[in-house]
Chain A
């Protein structure tokens, strides 16, 4: 049976038939590792993040890496053309990806990307929003909840000031942006279920 890991972070979604499931999984791991490392580097540059306990840093990164990557790579989802460009540079049609078994998750990713892109965030706003997403105090397993909450609150304050400053006439823009966070959580859960199904298969 062919194994297809049609993830935009996978360099080789359509695998060679002679590869073992273990080899396919290892190739996939090598494909997404640089992106994960970049998320860690990003986290290190969030003021205050490195002051959190190492365990809390790891917990936040483990729980939030997918969401950070989703925000970062939302532009890979071309809603108008109904295509996704993978990190390999190859562009796949939505139809082809659905044929690879990526139906429901992909539709929700497109929907999220469209909503996020419609806010037309500046690079600075997007970076701060990503920091807020990563420093989420409600992730399970946080040891020093107070420290994470304080950091998240300060990041949200700065984000609110920044968003208000760039669009003073649109008071709802900040609210709309924060409402993307539950959408990301839903996507994260769907993605986790997908990953688990591959492992079980």
Chain B
């Protein structure tokens, strides 16, 4: 049973969206 979330590329979208927050966070 492979991982459907990986099939969807979900992890990539999630990681990018999470990192977007770090970039916007004030120093």
Could you list which residues of chain A lie within 8 angstroms of chain B, going by C-beta atoms? Answer: 29, 32-33, 36-37, 40-41, 44, 50, 54, 57-58, 61-63, 65, 191-192, 195-196, 199
Q: A58-B11, A62-B14, A196-B4 are in contact. List 12 more A-B contacts (CB 8 A).
A: A33-B13, A36-B17, A40-B18, A44-B18, A50-B21, A58-B18, A61-B10, A61-B14, A65-B5, A195-B7, A196-B2, A196-B7
Verify B7–A44 contact, CB threshold 8 A: no
Verify B10–A62 contact, CB threshold 8 A: yes
Verify A29–B17 contact, CB threshold 8 A: no
Verify B18–A54 contact, CB threshold 8 A: yes
Contact of A44 with B21 at beta-carbon distance under 8 Å, contacts A63-B5, A192-B4, A195-B4 already known: yes
Closest residue to A194 on the B side, CB-wise? B4
Contacts of A191 in B (CB 8 A): 4
Verify A65–B14 contact, CB threshold 8 A: yes
Instruction: Give 1 or 0 for each of B3-27: 1 = CB within 8 Å of chain A CB.
Output: 0110111110111011001000000
Within 8 Å by CB of B17, from A37, A54, A63, A192, lies A37
11 residue pairs of the A-B complex, CB under 8 angstroms, read: A33-B13, A36-B10, A40-B17, A57-B18, A58-B11, A61-B18, A63-B5, A65-B10, A65-B14, A195-B8, A196-B4
* Nearest CB in chain B: distance from A58 CB, A: 6
Closest residue to A58 on the B side, CB-wise? B14
Contacts of A29 in B (CB 8 A): 8-9
Sort A-B residue pairs by CB-CB distance and give the 6 closest, nearest first. Answer: A40-B17, A195-B4, A192-B4, A62-B5, A61-B14, A37-B17
Task: Name the residue in B4, B11, B15 with the highest tally of chain A Cβ atoms < 10 Å from its Cβ.
Answer: B4
Contacts of A32 in B (CB 8 A): 8
